[in-house]
Amino acid sequence: MTKFQGKVAIITGAGSGMGRATAIEFAKGGATVIIADLNENNAKQTQKLLEEYNVPTKIFVGDISKTEKVQEIVNGTVEEFKTIDIVANIAGMPMTFTPIEEVEEEFWDQQMAVNVKASYLLSKYALPYLKNNQSKGSIVNVASVATVRPRPGLTAYCASKGAIVALTRSLALEVANTGVRVNVINPGPAETPMLEKFYGNMDPVEGRKLYEDSVPIGRLCYPEDIAKMIAYLSSDDASFITGSVVNVDGGRGL
Ligand SMILES: NC(=O)c1ccc[n+]([C@@H]2O[C@H](COP(=O)([O-])OP(=O)(O)OC[C@H]3O[C@@H](n4cnc5c(N)ncnc54)[C@H](O)[C@@H]3O)[C@@H](O)[C@H]2O)c1
């Protein structure tokens, strides 16, 4: 019996980067994998990659910062697979270095919607199922090492990621006596399509080097580094871990 056999995992942002790697990690463990992403083609590519693991999968396409979409994901999952054991809130929205005087209000609101509100919505609607199953559920959120080592020009992004850390710690305490665990990971700069969106118009070689040089271990974070930590935190091996903020960052946060 594999680690996640019989478990149902909702993974947001599963169409790319860390979300895709996490979908693969759960599929390897035998989980039913729910792929939630804005990008239909990428979601389908992830689903294709999971075929070799022979696990049930389902795609939900749409914006996870919208209540109706999250209700559709949760209700659709329970209708077909009866329960929800694991939620991995990975989808996120980057920002390009911008002084705060130039950050539009609409952009700020969008950062908060995708990077914070989506996790609130997934928690709100999935918790009744996470609480009421035998395995006792797990929620893992993804913030950023930028919450402890910010960079100038990323204030909206850093504020949203700081909020998700606070949300995690608060919710972990709120639901601790139900057996549901809630943790958050701070990835370091990572080898995913998102990275270049941060440095925007900078020369790509210089932009990448700026990030690489900032990591004491001397390389970018691989999506699999995050996927493995999400799988661990979601597993019974981590049954005594809740409210934790785990840096997976090659020492960038030091
Ligand atoms: N890449 C980095 O350097 C880095 C560093 C620290 C933290 N993070 C965080 O890690 C997480 C994963 O990022 P990644 O690097 O894998 O990025 P990525 O761009 O490869 O993947 C993000 C995925 O989220 C999806 N998504 C975005 N907004 C969505 C929405 N509203 N509804 C549904 N899906 C949506 C995208 O379509 C995409 O598939 C994000 O929360 C990001 O903020 C990334």
User: Mean pLDDT, to the nearest integer, of 230-244?
Assistant: 97
Measure the CA–CA gap between 154 and 41, rounded to whole angstroms. 29
**Which of 126-140, 153-167, 172-186 has the weakest average pLDDT?**
126-140
Give the C-alpha separation, 22 to 229, whole Å: 9
- Any alpha helices (H) in the chain, and if so which ranges? 17-28, 40-50, 67-81, 105-112, 118-131, 155-175, 195-199, 204-213, 223-234
Over its C-alpha atoms, the chain yields an Rg (Å, rounded) of: 17
Task: Return the SS3 of 34.
Answer: strand
- Answer yes or no: is pLDDT of 225 > 90: yes
3-state helix, strand, coil split of the chain in percent (to 5) is 50, 15, 35
Ligand 1, residues at Cβ distance < 6 Å? 12-13, 15-19, 37-39, 42, 63-65, 90-93, 114, 142, 144, 187, 189-190, 192-195
pLDDT at residue 136 greater than cutoff 90:
no
The CATH fold assigned to 8-247 is Rossmann fold (3.40.50)
Task: Give the residue extent of every domain in the chain.
Answer: 8-247
| pLDDT tens digits, 12-25 | 999 999 999 999 99
pLDDT classification of 117: cutoffs 50, 70, 90: very high
Tell me the pLDDT tens digit for each residue of 38-81. 999 999 999 999 999 999 999 999 999 999 999 999 999 999 99
Evaluate if residue 134 carries a pLDDT over 80. Answer: no
Ligand 1 atom nearest the C-alpha of 198 is: 3
Q: Is 125 a catalytic residue?
A: no
- Choose the catalytic residue: 157, 199, 222, 232: 157
- Mean local confidence (pLDDT), 152-158: 96
Partners of 184 in the beta sheet? 141, 245
Return the pLDDT at 2: 77
